[in-house]
Amino acid sequence: MSMIKLADNFYVGPQIEIDDLEDFQTAGIKTVICFRPDGEGQDQTKFAHVAEEAKELKVNAHYLPIILGQISDEQVVEFGNILQDSPVPIFAYCRSGARATMLWALNRAQAGKPVDEILGAAKIAGYDLTAMAPRLSQK
């Protein structure tokens, strides 16, 4: 299980396995968000299996499939709604954690957070979002 802290109560990481959910529960994670579309890779666990196990463990699970490079403003709003309505801490994942970080960055920009602050937090977490700066500045 790999969890990278982006902000208070918000973590990102790569594709998870069913067994990881027990570790998340033990770590206190209350909500899991999947950004990886089912079938994107042969190595991934289908979201339905993740959701089923999460329900057993009383962890909320949300599915918001994002195609890399095609994050819409509507998806950013939907992500914001999930954040607002879900118990924390939250763990979001995709193949590598990059899409999860991008959604987080766009949400933070939409909330009026300074772009430099967003980019700095992402960089500390190991994600270089410099190429997104123009879009982040539009919010």
| Tens digits of residue pLDDT in 56-65 | 999 999 999 9
The residues that bridge with 4 in the sheet, in sequence order, are 12
In the chain, alpha helices (H): 18-27, 47-56, 73-85, 98-110, 115-124, 133-137
Report the distance separating Cα 137 and Cα 101, nearest Å: 16
Mean pLDDT, the chain, whole residue set: 95
Q: Look at residue 139 in the predicted model and tell me its pLDDT.
A: 59
First to last CA, the chain: 33
Architecture of domain 4-137: Alpha-Beta Complex (3.90)
> pLDDT category, 69, cuts 50, 70, 90?
confident
Question: Mean pLDDT across the stretch 39-51?
Answer: 92
Torsions phi, psi for 4 (to 5 deg): -115, 125
Question: Mean pLDDT across the stretch 89-110?
Answer: 96
Please give the model's pTM, rounded to 2 decimal places: 0.94
Side chain identity at residue 51, one-letter code:
A
Report the distance separating Cα 123 and Cα 30, nearest Å: 25
CB half-sphere exposure, 112, CA atoms < 13 A: 0
Decide if pLDDT at 1 tops 80: no
The beta-carbon contacts of 6-9 under 8 Å, at least 24 apart in sequence, are 6/101, 6/104, 6/121, 6/122, 6/125, 7/104, 7/108, 7/121, 9/88, 9/89, 9/90
Question: Mean pLDDT across the stretch 49-76?
Answer: 95
Torsions phi, psi for 95 (to 5 deg): -70, -45
